[in-house]
Amino acid sequence: MTREMHPARWGDPKLAGALPDSTRELVEYAFGVQDRPAVEVVAVPPSALSEEILAELRGIVGVEQVLLDDETRRLRTRGKSTPDLLRARSGDLADAPDAVVRPADHQQVLALIELAQRHRFALVPFGGGTSVTGGLVARRDDVVGVVSLDLIRMKALREVDPISMTAVLEPGLRGPEAEALLAEHQMTLGHYPQSFEYASIGGFAATRSSGQSSAGYGRFDALVVGLEVATAKGTLVLGSSPANAAGPDLRQLMLGSEGAFGVITAVRVRVRALPTVKQYEAWQFPSFADGADAMRLLAQNGQLPTVIRLSDENETALNLASHSNVGGDTVTGCLMVIGFEGTDVEAVAAKRGAVAALLTRAGGEELGAERGEAWVQGRFAAPYLRDALLDAGVLVETLETATFWSKRDEVYQAVRDALVAELGEKALVLCHISHVYETGCSLYFTVAAPGGDEPLTTWLAAKAAATEAMVGHGATVSHHHAVGSDHRPWFAREIGPVGVDILRAVKAELDPAGVLNPGVMIP
Ligand SMILES: Cc1cc2nc3c(=O)[nH]c(=O)nc-3n(C[C@H](O)[C@H](O)[C@H](O)COP(=O)(O)OP(=O)(O)OC[C@H]3O[C@@H](n4cnc5c(N)ncnc54)[C@H](O)[C@@H]3O)c2cc1C
């Protein structure tokens, strides 16, 4: 696995490939193929930072840790949403940072924040660069330049507490690095978003990420016990007890703050014993509504497995068309994948038995392990397919929300309708539920449509319509992708004017010069 991704594509180039012939035929049939020329390497705009600022930056982190070359700046430009990729593919590098700076520790981060306040340059924390909501695109209108604060050097496992089962991780650790360090202590975090291979601990905390095993291990914000944050006012250390009633929980103010209040320099997380038993399997339900009702019952009975995800009819049909080598009879209706992890064979078997009994009562039919295992094997591969589809001129993107169980069908239909109204009848809208709670669930949509001549404009209109539908029907702008710069107008509606004022007041207090990721998260 390479550490750096291509600036206009996902992941490791060695794992990327052209569209398989069968998929290309499907695409040709559904949308028509319009091959896009290979991405050209374009020069980034010259750095806007003065020699005085550069000298001070070098004084804090060392000469070698202030990078101005085109290649490094290109790699720190924006994130990995489809609009980000389309802009990069068209040679638009207008959002490239003026410098990339790599601090070694908390003290250097504090000094960089002080310098940014004094000289009014924007500071954009960069973890893994997998943001899909414009979280790495700082506004430039009121600053002298933009510095990418690359946390790549802050990657220590600072501490483990095997009695309390906590660990202190630095923000620059990417998913696999954090898991490898914890595995040396027979521990796991259990946080596996689809971006796991590249996204970082700091990014997970700053965006309140949710992983594929959230049913068993919890969302990332539920895993965070404590935080260390560098702000313009000094250091904030939070989380001195497992739980408390000492005023509002300030950890929740910093989680999801997307670099706008400060830089997270350490995270104390709750860990679990490294699982030795892992069992995945698939089930079939007559309809999406039937499968979702079964998920609700599991959640409300306190019987959730470690992983649970349900594809709607369209996603089920497409998954099977593209994985026709996964054995078994043809599946109609909707496919559910469930997984169980633990350290005790009998405890896992007992849990599995109880879940299977409920799913059967709820109308589910067991399909065996093969499709469950196939999902585990391929679970980080989809982003490579997006690149191959973009190469073929197909517009592909994902969006997500969450709502209460009682509004599930209404929100699902409203978002689908909005996307089809904007993208046309040819648009393919797939959906799955992969995060469930006693009170509701996430809805995660994948959209494919003909790209046309202006794919970026087409997508931005569709995304606006879908987000409007979410907020209009009382759902959230984001269950786990965060606000970034893309969701801000709708976020303001979600939290209302009082909510907006609270966030602005905290911002003014912690970042008086307004240079910490300006234009991100705060409406
Ligand atoms: C293909 C793909 C699949 C994805 N799948 C999932 C998924 O399953 N679940 C999910 O939750 N998300 C998913 N995402 C979204 C993304 O991976 C998450 O938002 C992730 O948490 C971002 O982590 P990162 O380290 O890449 O952060 P970055 O992209 O580097 O940064 C994200 C935001 O956090 C800020 N930030 C980063 N580090 C810090 C820090 N230390 N202190 C303060 N602010 C900081 C940045 O400035 C930016 O605003 C996916 C994205 C892609 C491209």
What is the Cα–Cα distance from 259 to 172, expressed in whole angstroms? 14
Asked whether the predicted pLDDT for residue 39 surpasses 80, the reply is no
Looking at residue 506, its pLDDT comes to 98
CA of 133 to the centre of ligand 1 (A): 9
pLDDT at 457: 97
State yes or no: pLDDT of 341 exceeds 80.
Answer: yes
Q: What is the pLDDT of residues 148-206, one digit of tens each?
A: 999 999 999 999 999 999 999 999 999 999 999 999 999 999 999 999 999 999 999 99
Mean pLDDT over 445-449 rounds to 97
Structure tokens at 248: 């509002």
CA 197 to centroid of ligand 1, rounded, Å: 11
Q: How far apart are CA 18 and CA 11, in angstroms?
A: 14
Q: What is the dihedral of CA 15, 18, 20, 23, to 10 degrees?
A: 120
Residue 510: band (very low, low, confident or very high) from pLDDT cuts 50, 70, 90:
very high
Sort strands 157-161 and 234-238 into parallel, antiparallel or unpaired. Answer: unpaired
Q: DSSP letters along 57-102, please?
A: HHHHH-GGGEE--HHHHHHTSS-SSHHHHHHHHTT--TT--SEEE-
What is the position in ligand 1's atom list of the atom closest to the CA of 480? 11
Q: What is the pLDDT of residue 15?
A: 87
pLDDT band at 14 (very low <50, low <70, confident <90, very high): confident
Contact 338, 291 (CB under 8 A): no
478 Cα to the center of ligand 1, angstroms: 13
Count other C-beta atoms under 10 Å from residue 364's C-beta.
22
Residue nearest ligand 1's atom 23 by CA: 203
Give tens-digit pLDDT for 73-96.
999 999 999 999 999 999 999 999
In this prediction, residue 511 carries a pLDDT of 98
For residue 322, pLDDT over 80 is answered with no
Lowest mean pLDDT among 3-17, 158-172, 352-366, 487-501: 3-17
Q: 307 pLDDT band (50/70/90 cuts)?
A: very high
Per-residue pLDDT, averaged over 426-454, amounts to: 96
Distance 475 CA to ligand 1 centre (A): 21
Q: Would you state the pLDDT for residue 326?
A: 41
Percent of the chain with pLDDT over 90: 89
- Nearest protein CA to atom 2 of ligand 1, as residue: 195
pLDDT tens digits for 40-67? 678 899 999 999 999 999 999 999 999 9
Ligand 1, closest atom to CA 149? 47
Question: 3-state DSSP call for residue 198?
Answer: coil
The predicted model gives 443-461 an average pLDDT of: 95
Query: In the structure, which protein residues have their CB atom closer than 6 angstroms to any atom of ligand 1?
Result: 10, 79-80, 124-132, 135-136, 151, 171, 193-195, 199-200, 202-204, 206-207, 209-210, 258-259, 263-264, 383, 480-482, 517, 520
The predicted pLDDT at position 248 comes to: 96
Q: Is the pLDDT of residue 343 over 70?
A: yes
- Kindly give, in sequence order, each residue whose CB lies less than 8 Å from that of residue 384, ignoring residues fewer than 6 positions away: 10, 11, 15, 16, 17
Asked if 20 contacts 321 with a C-beta cutoff of 8 angstroms, the reply is no
Q: At what angle do helices 21-30 and 382-391 cross, to 10 degrees?
A: 60
Q: Which parts of 194-287 fold into alpha helices (H)? A: 201-207, 214-217, 220-223, 250-254
Which pLDDT score, from 0 to 100, does residue 21 have?
Answer: 86
Q: What string of DSSP letters covers 364-378?
A: -EEEEHHHHHHHHHH
pLDDT at 32: 84
Structure token digits, residue 117: 């306040």
**CA-wise closest residue to 306 among 268, 346, 270, 275:** 275
Q: Which atom of ligand 1 is nearest to the CA of 131?
A: 29
4, 130, 443: residue to mutate for ligand 1 pocket, most atoms within 8 A of CB: 130
As a whole-number percent, the residues of the chain with pLDDT over 70 amount to 97
pLDDT higher than 80, residue 423: yes
Question: Which token pair is 421?
Answer: 């109204």
Give pLDDT, residue 26: 85
